C-alpha cells in the first residue's frame, strides 16, 4: 500500500494501523450514521453528502483501503456488497434503475481510504459521470 497523507477530515491515513477512517469509526459505533443495513460482513448507511436522492455507502467491516488492495480471498466479500446493494435498491424503491460505483485512487475520486460501494438512484444518471 502506498503512503497517503493523514487527513482526518476525509478519513485518509499514512499508517492504516495508527488511524481509523471515518467509515471504520462508523462501523465501530464511534460515529453516528443513518445505518440501513448491518451484517457480519458489511454496514450500509446514507452518504452525508449525497450526489443523488438515494446515495447509500456499503462498506465492508474488513478495513481494505481500496480496490487495489483486494486479495483473491476477498471475492466473496465483494460479491456480498453487490447483493446488499441490490437488496437496498429494492427497499428504496429504485424500480427505474440505479448505479453502483467503486472509486479507486485519487484520480478515480476516492476520498475515504476504506473500500466502499456507492449505490445511487432516484434520478436519471448521465454518462460520462464526471
Predicted pLDDT of residue 15: 41
Under-70 pLDDT residues of the chain: 1-18, 130
State the fold for domain 22-121.
Answer: HIT family, subunit A (3.30.428)
Enumerate the active-site residues: 116
Structure-block grid coordinates of residue 32: 453516528
pLDDT digits (tens, 9 = 90+) for 44-80: 999 999 999 999 999 999 999 999 999 999 999 999 9
Tell me the whole-structure pTM to 2 decimals. Answer: 0.86
Tell me the H-state helices in the chain: 22-27, 75-91
Amino acid at each position: 500500500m502506498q503512503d497517503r497523507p493523514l487527513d482526518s477530515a476525509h478519513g485518509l491515513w499514512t499508517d492504516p494501523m495508527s488511524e481509523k477512517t471515518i467509515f471504520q469509526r462508523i462501523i465501530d459505533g464511534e460515529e453516528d450514521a443513518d445505518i440501513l443495513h448491518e451484517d457480519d460482513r458489511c454496514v450500509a448507511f446514507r452518504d452525508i453528502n449525497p450526489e443523488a436522492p438515494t446515495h447509500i455507502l456499503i462498506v465492508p467491516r474488513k478495513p481494505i483501503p481500496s480496490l487495489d488492495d483486494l486479495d483473491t480471498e476477498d471475492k466473496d466479500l465483494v460479491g456480498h456488497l453487490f447483493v446488499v446493494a441490490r437488496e437496498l435498491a429494492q427497499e428504496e424503491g429504485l424500480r427505474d434503475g440505479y448505479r453502483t460505483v467503486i472509486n479507486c485512487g485519487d484520480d478515480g475520486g476516492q476520498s475515504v481510504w476504506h473500500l466502499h460501494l456507492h449505490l445511487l438512484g432516484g434520478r436519471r444518471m448521465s454518462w460520462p459521470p464526471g
